């Protein structure tokens, strides 16, 4: 059988990592044991035959000034924020108006990168902390399949 080039996926290091196969869409929760194996370079083969290699290196964090729109999951609440830094694991942003959410809420964020393509990014993040008008949120999924975001975050 020919050896496939593994697709790299980036782990945030936080618990409850989920990875979604970009070929067949299978969702898989990665437990601590699996992540430990990955740390040693193990690959994951999906049922469909796609091969993944986990990258556990520290996520690069990039300073930004990206206007974003959020919606609070399960509620008809929305607002505008300014993303001030972003990584593959999460974002920090500044509130422009009163927060309509609290820590633990899931936000659906939509924004455009300031790359030449003005790539539109949509993802979900869980609010971790709110301090004044500054908010930290962690992505709820592994957004490795956002290739454009990965490219944008390259040092």
**114 token code pair:** 């300031």
Considering only residues 24 through 83, tell me which ones interact with Zn ion, judged by CB under 5 A.
24, 26, 46, 48, 50
Q: Is the dihedral of CA 148, 30, 125, 155 positive or negative?
A: negative
Beta strand 78-86 pairing with 62-72: antiparallel
Contact 134, 92 (CB under 8 A): yes
Of 19-27, 110-118, 124-132, 136-144, the segment contacting Zn ion by CB under 5 A is 19-27
Give, in order, the Cα–Cα distances in Å from 55 to each of 9, 59, 69.
6, 9, 30
Q: Which is nearer to Zn ion, 23 or 39 (CB)?
A: 23
Check binding of 23 to Zn ion (CB under 5 A). yes
Among 7, 9, 11, 21, the residue binding Zn ion under the rule CB under 5 A is: 21
Least Cβ distance, residue 134 to Zn ion (angstroms): 38
Q: Which is nearer to Zn ion, 71 or 146 (CB)?
A: 146
Q: Which is nearer to Zn ion, 21 or 113 (CB)?
A: 21
């Amino acid at each position: 059988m020919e050896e496939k080039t593994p697709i790299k996926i980036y782990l945030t290091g936080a618990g409850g990592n989920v990875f979604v196969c970009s070929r067949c869409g299978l969702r898989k929760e990665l437990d601590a044991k699996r992540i430990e194996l990955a740390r040693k370079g193990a690959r994951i083969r999906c049922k469909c035959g796609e091969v993944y290699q986990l990258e556990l290196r520290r996520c690069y964090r990039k300073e930004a000034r990206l206007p974003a729109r959020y919606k609070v999951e399960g509620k008809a609440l929305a607002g505008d924020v300014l993303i001030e830094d972003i990584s593959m694991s999460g974002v920090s942003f500044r509130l422009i108006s009163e927060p309509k959410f609290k820590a633990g809420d899931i936000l659906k964020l939509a924004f455009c990168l300031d790359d030449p393509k003005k790539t539109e990014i949509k993802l979900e993040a869980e609010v971790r902390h709110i301090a004044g008008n500054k908010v930290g949120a962690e992505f709820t999924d592994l957004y490795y399949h956002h290739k454009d975001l990965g490219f944008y975050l390259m040092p």
